[in-house]
Amino acid sequence: APVLMWFRRDLRLSDHAALTAACEAGQPVIPVFINDPLVERLGAAPKWRLGLGIGALAESLEDKGSRLVLRRGDALEVLQDLIAETGAAAVFWSRLYDPDSVDRDGKIKETLKDADIDARSFGGHLMFEPWTVETKTGGYYKVYTPFWNAVKNVGVDAPRATPSSIPAPESWPHSDDLDSWQMGAAMDRGADVVRPFVQLGEQSAQARLGSFMAHGVAGYKDNRDIPGMDGTSNLSENLSLGEISPHQCWHASQRALDEGKAGAETFLKELVWREFAYHLMHHTPRILDRNWREEWEAFPWNEDARKSEVWAWKKGRTGIPFVDAAMREMYVTGRMHNRGRMIVASYLTKHLLTHWRIGMEWFEDCLIDWDPASNAMGWQWSAGSGPDATPYFRVFNPETQLDKFDKNRDYVGRWIAERKSSPHEDALKFFEAIPRHWGMKPDDPYPSPIVSPSEGRSRALEAYENRDF
Ligand code: FAD
């Protein structure tokens, strides 16, 4: 009887525990992707990017004589239909950790097991299962450095090879046509503008990892903070969809470290920040939508997303070059440099006294590397409401940050067109991508700051001092 291999955010064939187990079962394997309500409600860019990833996975499966069966509907019902149609006796998948997926998958496992189906979940999205890392007193970690110390020598499984063959069934169940799902329907910015910036699929992710380890990782420690440089791995979109595994990145980086490339240790630490985000989401799922530090619920955040200041922030029209450059970078490329993410998040939550949730949701709509755990942790860290966060009174000054991290103005020059006689081509792409009703043109005057760094700073500190907690 066939095994159903249910793909979700593990869109690769190599180092795939569930797929390997399915292939080793000695039965036909039927790969399936289900467009269920959790997929339906993804933000515009993550959903569009997922659609591209599904297409790339389907092609890799076809190269191996297999296929990807696409179905839409409630996940349990779809699986039950497929079991009835194909006589499958097992369903395998890779674990997810956000509360809604955990809830869905738990119910599915229970129901299928009751029907004598071998329903099994496997690891692979993370190197360290969140419940396996414990403090000495048996609790979870709230601070990164002790978490790093706890995991750094644990040992990470060596990556598995790609299965040599994926046994096909005698006949294939019906599959939807991917185009009919219209995964890009909500991408009202020109998807054509974003597409060239996408690093799509397992092969490109592996190629990028290889070139980053050969040329990038040695200087990573210093270069990773300079947004005008290509100094980071750019693997987040692939990690987010499982087009590459963290284990593959970890082992490649360990080899680089053994070869004396010092930046590799910093890279290992960043991979562990991702694990830490998942650790926190597992132990405190409220990090996704409530202030992690509960006293912050009383802070007088602006919670009105329609406010003109919030719109200026979203449109990259705050008049603060570092903030605007980063917001435009995200709109055009679907990604934003980490330094930019910290600065725009600080400006929104401190200078504009706006709830981090509004920023988090905008990122969720715009990022092709959107990740529920890293996004929530990043926002709460920046806002001061999260675990191990910067204290609220430490307000980033976007002007001194510019002098420190974009000395030659390479980054703001790449993303801001106004006032330039010959703007950078990427800066102009922003104007191709934005909806017409934003009413922005490259030859508009560049706006003056909606809230200046010093005024914003004192406003934020005043609100913080007058808080009632
Ligand atoms: P590299 O510097 O090459 O790092 C390698 C990998 O380590 C990354 O791909 C990522 O998986 C992980 N990593 C690095 N830094 C972090 C971090 N601070 N937290 C968690 N993991 C990290 N990352 C996302 O993947 N998705 C998000 O939705 C996301 N939202 C963020 C929101 C805010 C407000 C902030 C401050 C950070 C956010 N990050 C998010 C973390 C970080 O900015 C990105 O992971 C990083 O910029 C991706 O670029 P890279 O792949 O070149 O990273």
Residues 349-366: tens digit of each pLDDT = 999 999 999 999 999 999
List Cα–Cα distances, 101 to 38, 39, 45, 48, 275, in angstroms.
8, 10, 20, 20, 17
Q: Cα–Cα distance between 15 and 370 in angstroms, integer?
A: 22
Q: CA 66, CA 434: separation in Å to the nearest integer?
A: 40
Residue 168 lies in a domain: no
- Residue 245 is part of a domain; what is its CATH number? 1.25.40.80
| Gap between the Cα atoms of 304 and 349, Å rounded | 13
Task: Give the pLDDT confidence score for residue 468 in this predicted structure.
Answer: 82
Looking at the structure, tell me whether residues 4 and 113 fall in a common domain.
yes
3-state secondary structure of 73: coil
Claim to verify: residue 255 and residue 136 sit in the same structural domain: yes
Question: In terms of domains, do 279 and 330 share one?
Answer: no
Closest CA to 324 of 230, 406, 404: 406
Percent of the chain with pLDDT over 70: 100
Same structural domain, 215 and 134: yes
Mutate which of 249, 274, 323, 381 to test ligand 1's pocket (most atoms within 8 Å of Cβ)? 274
In a domain, residue 243? The reply is yes
**Tokens 């239909």, located at residue:** 81
Residue 371 Cα, ligand 1 centroid: separation in angstroms?
9
**Domain at 88, CATH number:** 3.40.50.620
Residue 469, pLDDT score:
83
Is the pLDDT reported for residue 189 higher than 90?
no
The torsion angles phi and psi of 142, rounded to 5 degrees, stand at -110, -5
Shared domain for 145 and 79, answered yes or no, is: no
Same domain, 263 and 407: no
Does the pLDDT at position 190 exceed 90?
A: no
Sheet of strand 69-72: strand arrangement: 69-72, 29-35, 3-7, 90-94, 118-122
Asked whether residue 320 falls in the same domain as residue 337, the answer is yes
Q: Are residues 104 and 12 in the same domain?
A: yes
List the one residue out of 340, 359, 446, 338 whose CA is nearest residue 398: 340
Which of residues 102, 123, 144 is at a domain's end?
Answer: 123
Is 90 exceeded by the pLDDT of residue 223?
A: yes
CB burial string 437-467: b at 16+ within 10 A, e below: eeebeeeeeebebbbebeebbebbeeebeee
Compute the distance from residue 377 Cα to the ligand 1 centre, in Å.
10
Evaluate whether 120 touches 105 at the Cβ level (below 8 Å). no
Rounded to an integer, what distance in angstroms lies between the CA atom of residue 155 and that of residue 343?
A: 34
Q: Is the CB of 235 under 6 A from ligand 1?
A: yes
390 confidence band (pLDDT: 50, 70, 90): confident
Position 210 scores a pLDDT of 98
Coil/strand/helix, residue 39: helix
Where does the pLDDT of residue 122 fall: very low under 50, low under 70, confident under 90, or very high at 90 and above?
Answer: very high
Domain limits at 11?
1-123
379 lines ligand 1 (CB under 6 A): yes
Residue 147 CA, ligand 1 centroid: distance in Å: 17
Question: What pLDDT, on a 0 to 100 scale, did the predictor assign at position 391?
Answer: 86
Residue 231's closest CA among 263, 256, 269?
263
265-293 pLDDT per residue, tens: 999 999 999 999 999 999 999 999 999 99
Residue 237, in any domain of the structure: yes
Neighbours of 423 (CB within 10 A): 19
User: For a pLDDT cut of 90, what percent of the chain falls above it?
Assistant: 96
pLDDT number for residue 30: 99
Q: Is residue 23 part of a domain?
A: yes
Domain boundary among 283, 311, 337: 283
The answer as to whether 186 is a domain residue is no
Query: pLDDT tens digits for 324-343?
Result: 999 999 999 999 999 999 99
pLDDT at 389: 79
User: Which of these three, 251, 283, 315, is where a domain ends?
Assistant: 283
With a 6 Å cutoff on the Cβ, whether 369 touches ligand 1 is: yes
Closest Cα to atom 11, ligand 1: which residue? 236
Instruction: Evaluate whether 247 touches 255 at the Cβ level (below 8 Å).
Output: no
Residue range 238-253, pLDDT digits in tens: 999 999 999 999 999 9
pLDDT given at position 14: 98
Q: Is residue 4 part of a domain?
A: yes
**Residue 98 structure tokens:** 């956000």
Q: What is the pLDDT of residue 467?
A: 87
**Is 183 a domain residue?**
no
Q: Confirm or reject: Cβ of 238 under 6 Å from ligand 1.
A: no
State yes or no: 234 annotated in a binding site: yes
Q: What is the pTM of this model?
A: 0.98
Say which CATH number the domain at 314 has: 1.10.579.10
Tell me the average pLDDT of the chain.
Answer: 97
| Tokens of residue 92, six digits | 């395998």
Whole-number pLDDT of residue 274? 98
Rounded to whole angstroms, how far apart are CA atoms 36 and 40? 6
Given a cut of 90, whether residue 388 has pLDDT beyond it is no
Q: Closest by alpha carbon to 271, among 238, 297, 315?
A: 238
Residue 279 domain-assigned?
yes
Q: How far is the CA of 332 from the centre of ligand 1 (A)?
A: 18
Picking from 192, 193, 236, 188, the residue whose alpha carbon sits closest to that of residue 426 is 193
The number of folded domains in the chain is: 3
Shared domain check, 300 and 264: no
Q: What is residue 51's DSSP assignment? A: H
Burial-class residue 63 by CB neighbours within 10 Å (0-12, 13-18, 19+): exposed
Q: Are 106 and 25 in the same domain?
A: yes
Q: Is 397 annotated as a binding residue?
A: no
Q: Would you list the DSSP string of 162-174?
A: PPS--PPPSSPPP
Please indicate, yes or no, whether residues 79 and 145 belong to a single structural domain of this protein. no
pLDDT at 188 over 90: no
36 pLDDT more than 90: yes
If asked whether residues 266 and 378 sit together in one domain, one would say no
Output phi, psi for 93, to 5 deg. Answer: -155, 165
Q: Is 448 one of the annotated binding-site residues? A: no
Q: What ipTM is given for this predicted complex?
A: 0.99
